[in-house]
Each structure stands twice: as C-alpha cells, then as structure tokens.
Amino acid sequence: MRKYCPYFSVLLVVFFYVVVNLLNDSFVAIESRHAIPASPAIPRQEQKPVKTVLQTTTAARQQIWHRPENNPSFFTPRKSVVNPLNYNVVISGDPDCVKDPPFLTVLVLSMHSSRQYRDAIRNTWGSLARNNSWPGLNITEKMKLVFLFGTARSSTLNEKLKAEAKRTRDIVMFDFIESYFNLTYKVLMGFKWVQDFCPGTKFVMKCDEDTFVNIPKVIERLRSKEWNTKIAGPYFTNEIARRAGKYNVAVSAYPFGIYPPHVKGNIYFMPTDIARKLLNASYYMPYVNMEDAYITGILAKSVGGINYIGLNGNEYSPSHAFKGCEFIRKVASQQIQPADARDIWKKMNSKTDCK
C-alpha cells in the first residue's frame, strides 16, 4: 500500500483542481445573470471654449458664457417687468429745479455715518450748487447737488440723517436697505428721482463721497460734442465678473465671465436722456449688484447705440489721489479724505499757492 501513495496524492490534487474550477464557473454564471448591463459608449463631444458648466450648491447645472457676444440674446429686454423698482422716497431733498432746471445734477453716493465727507463736499467743490461760484471763474451753468441713501438698519442713524436733511435740504433717501449689494438700486432710484423731480436737467453725474470734482472742467467737457452725447468716465473693457468676495455676482444674475465695456470707478457722466433710457431698460433686465458694470455696461448694451468717452490719465487716475495744486488741471480725483478736499480747495482759492 505504501508504494501507491505517490499515485494517490496526484489523483487527489487533480480531483480538487476539477472541483474548484467547477465551483468558479458556477459563481460566474450566477453573477452574469444578475449583473447590470453596461452602458453604451457615449461619443466624446468637441469642447467649446466659449462655454463652461458650473456645478452649484443646489446641484443645478448653470451654463456660463465667456463673453457677452457669445449669447447676445441675454441682453434683449424681457417682455415683462422683472425689476420693478417699487421703492418709495423717504426724504425727497429740495426738488427746486423744475422751474429753473440745472445744467448738471450731481448724485453723490453716501453712507449715513459719513457726515464729514458730505460737509467737505458742501464746503468745497459742491458749494457751486449753493452760490454758483468757483475760485477765479465766472460760472453761468447751474448745478444741483444731492446725496443718495438707502434706509439704515439703525433707526438712530436714520433719525440723524433726517435732522441733517432739514438743515441742508440736499439729502434723498429711499426705503430699500442701505447695503453694498443695493448700490445699483441707489443709482437707478437716483435716476428716477431726476426724472420725477428734476426732469429738465441736461446732464447727470454720479460720484462717490470720497471724490473731488473740478466742476468747471466737467462743464467744459460736457459742452463739447465729444462728450455731450456719450457716457463719460474711466473706461474699461474685458473686466472679469467675480464670483466671490465683495464683488461677487451670482451666475444666475449674470451668466458671463466678462462684463461688457463700461465706465467704472468713482465717477461718470451722461446726458439725461441716456440716463432715462438706462432707467427704462432696467425694469426689463435682471438685477445685477455691480452698479457701474450693470448700469453703464449691461443696460447700455441692452439699449444699444450708446457710445463712450474715456477719461485719460492726465484727467483722472483710478490708482492714486491727486494732491493740492496738482488738481487744478484735473477733472476728478478719488480717495480724497475730508482734510484733503479742504486743502485742495484752499489752494484753488489762493492767488499765490498755485500758479
């Protein structure tokens, strides 16, 4: 029996090999009967560089176009009102310009707590609205000055502003909440205020409270054919639409990577008839919270046929503030603190400081 052991071992190995393979084939057959059929191959589509797909937090897929010209239909006014601007005037200012309309109405975007900036404007370049005079010059064109506000969340701030308005009569407040997101509403409602209370004004200027404006230079430009039919200001093209931070604009509001050409920064000017066209277009276009890009870019493109004139670096610098006598030959400067404004005004009034 001992001599047959090797043969027996070989037979035993063969037996186990056959059994294992039979079991494996059985499992494969069972698995194949319950397997999910494979999906058919999807042909790979050619990538289009002008389109991107963004996955939002709601799992919705929102299409983005790179440039405005990639989807011009977006800029077609909607058939019904989508942005009603149904806000009320809480403080109306002193709308005394119906009988004697001004050449220029200045809309200054201000904040409740910025009384020092407003007083600096009133006592320097904005004083032209009150006394129609400018250092060393005889100004015949009339200017109207108003400061624009939403409603603060603090009732104390609102009451202080109302008290200030009684004394100065140059404050206009609306009943939307004061916020950076609502700056577009502030300018559009400013245009509406001009339309309702000061319709005869020839030109409208928007500026921020930290801006110093050389009004005679502005009037000189607005008289010219080069300026009097266009939107004027610091002109930008290929401005990127940001999706995060302070300047965040939702894709659902503006589905493009680039804004249309527009004027931006602290200041821009336009004829009142253009402001009226932009206001009317805004009722039928989705709201975008980037005020300058929306009003002078998106709405202007929606209206069509509106041209621009850019301020050059010798007239306005978006990167630094002009100082003192340097400003005499400029149109405007930004980042001006109240003390800077008073210093510029003092030098402009001096017969010896600036020659």
Residue 24: pLDDT band (50, 70, 90) is very low
Handedness of CA 259, 265, 270, 273 (dihedral sign): positive
For 256, the token pair is 């493009």
Quickly state the pLDDT bin for 50 (edges 50, 70, 90).
very low
The class (CATH top level) of 83-237+260-349 is alpha beta
Phi, psi dihedral angles at 323 (to 5 degrees): -125, 145
Which of 1-10, 286-295, 307-316 is predicted with the least confidence, judged by mean pLDDT? Answer: 1-10
Average pLDDT, integer, range 236-262: 95
User: Per-residue pLDDT averaged across 76-95, rounded?
Assistant: 95
CB-based contact 184:206 (threshold 8 Å): no
Residues near 331 by beta carbon (within 8 Å), at least 6 away in sequence: 213, 214, 217, 218, 221, 311, 315, 316
Mean pLDDT calculated for residue range 327-336: 88
The predicted model gives 300-308 an average pLDDT of 98
Sequence ranges of the domains in the chain: 83-237+260-349
pLDDT level of residue 223 (50, 70, 90 thresholds): very high
Q: pTM (2 decimals)?
A: 0.82
| Separation CA 41–CA 46 (nearest Å) | 16
